[in-house]
Amino acid sequence: MRAVHRSVARLATVAALLAATVVVACSSPQSPSVTATPSGRARASSAPTLDPAERAGAVVAQMTDADLVGQVLMPSIRLEDPARGSASLVREFRLGGVILMGNAEDMPSGGTAAQVRALTDELQSAARTLPAKVPLLVATDQEYGWVTRIKSGMVQLPSAMAFGAAGRPDLTEAAWRGAGAEMAAVGVNVDFAPDADVIVTPGNLVIGSRSYGSDPAAVAIQVAAAVRGLQSAGVAATVKHFPGHGRTTVNSHTALPVLGQSRKRLGSTDLPPFRAGIDADSWLVMSGHLDVRAIDPGMPASFSHKVLVDLLRREIGFRGVVVTDALNMAPARRWPAGEAAVRAMLAGNDLLLMPPDLRAARQGLLDALKNGQLPRSRLLEAATRVLTLRFRVVPFAQPDLSTVELAVNRESAKAVAMAAITVLRGPCTEPVVRGSVRVSASSGRDQQRQWLVQALRANGITVVSSGGQLVHLIGYGDGTAELVGGAAVTVGMDTPYVLRSATSAVRIATYSSTQVAMEALAAVLAGKATAVGRSPVAVPGLPRSACAG
């Protein structure tokens, strides 16, 4: 960022301005100048406005080594952990950010939006005691679909693949704007989404329905729309997993996936969605634990200067924050926590996500700074980028909790779910089922079965416990063993690949197992709506749609 390269005199001037006011300001079309509220968000102020990078550079110039190192560390906090203990972690390590993990529904009292908000308010109170006095980055993995950290008390969007099947970027942007507003209301200001991976390898369940599809151009359009929607609500978007996790079936949590495509193929197939997200001004990019043989063989991209600096920064032109994928994953644990932290910084990451040993990671960075292994300029650069991001999210006023689960947001989610429903085999202009219906589901999917039963009855369909036409639901990760012979309708609620092996006369993909997806499915089964979705991935032996071309 340019603040890193400004003169000492310029930094001193801006620092003096900072010392003269408690205003947390940055230039924004939404709010030219703002003052922090108790929740860490903002209200209007008449104080002068400074560029976020200038403010960040000025704050960084006054920081101790411990404060600088704290900016680049982002440990995890479980949503069910006591708030005061989590706040103590922020103060002790002088953190610039945290990531919320776990599912809110796992919390002892049910995991309401109010509980998440109470936790984030406590974290922000701790952040205000630190010298920077800037709201903390509070991140989570709210991709929707099967990677969703906060499941209770918030509208649930369909999976990315459902958005791809709908093919409506206008609906994508609106849905993500509503989701961003709900995240902001509970205190989340960074979302590690959208997933920019292009599914190239059929059956890739590592990414699966987290991807918008297999067409780079179509995925690029969806990624850009999601970025615009999120960031218009004041939640920083993150395109991931750079430079693309869609070609491998190896899970990077447990091993290092190898990407063997040519550099040309990487550029034409994997990179377009990342370029689109960056062109849409995504504030973060997440580096993937991926062995990109065409660029830096044997080295995870998350630790590769050639990938993160030469490609991402210099060639593509990204200027925001680069965050590692979790450092507690197997490819990153080939080195001790302290060494991994230093290597990740030297490679070009600005924010180190979930180091397996936070204390060791901090000490490793401090020692490397002291002995010269980690140039101070690299740490200043990273800390300035992180603080710039912190200032960028300040002007967006935090919505009240009463804005969570608004009907308009649920309707946005339902519009996508409806547009995504795809008939890969079966009728298009008449009810799919007639007479009585029986609903079954693969193991662990009883909630979806209940939702569908309720929705079918609401559409005038008689649902019975025995006999009738059988509608069978298959969920995430379920294979052919979960297929049921004799089912009149088989429904894939995740990637549609399993439908290839079904024997049902009617095969339908919803790509998601949310309540609104089941409601949309019921409308199609009852003939009250037409399935207009088109599979964003190829299923051998089946068309992309039997109804939409």
Which residues form the catalytic set? 253, 325
Residue 437: phi and psi, rounded to 5, are -130, 140
3-state secondary structure 252-273: CCCCCCEECCCHHHHHHHHCHH
Beta bridge partners of 190: 139, 236
Beta bridge partners of 495: none
Determine the 3-state secondary structure of 130 from DSSP: coil
The answer for residues whose C-beta is within 8 angstroms of residue 105's C-beta and 6 or more apart is 111, 151, 152
Cα gap 117→303, rounded to integer Å? 34
Cα gap 274→495, rounded to integer Å? 22
Residue 87: phi and psi, rounded to 5, are -65, -35
Q: What would the two tokens of residue 235 be?
A: 């939640």
Cα gap 526→528, rounded to integer Å? 5
In angstroms and rounded to an integer, the radius of gyration of the C-alpha atoms of the chain is 24
> Which whole-number Å values give the CA distances from 85 to 38, 278, 361, 468, 535, in the listed order?
19, 36, 20, 55, 46
Q: Virtual CA dihedral for 352, 353, 354, 356, nearest 10 degrees?
A: -40
End-to-end Cα separation, the chain, in angstroms: 47
**Contacts for 335-339: CB closer than 8 Å, 24+ residues apart:** 336/360, 336/364, 337/361, 337/364, 338/363, 338/364, 338/365, 338/367, 339/364
Amino acid at 310: D
Determine the 3-state secondary structure of 70 from DSSP: helix
> Which whole-number Å values give the CA distances from 120 to 86, 222, 420, in the listed order?
10, 30, 34
Cα gap 334→136, rounded to integer Å? 30
H/E run at residue 138: strand 137-140
> Which whole-number Å values give the CA distances from 213 to 164, 218, 511, in the listed order?
6, 8, 11
Q: Are 438 and 462 in contact (CB under 8 A)?
A: no
Determine the 3-state secondary structure of 134 from DSSP: coil
3-state secondary structure 313-375: HHHCCCCCEEEECCCCCHHHHHCCHHHHHHHHHHHCCCEEECCCCHHHHHHHHHHHHHHCCCC
Q: Are 140 and 235 in contact (CB under 8 A)?
A: no
Longest dimension (CA), the chain: 82
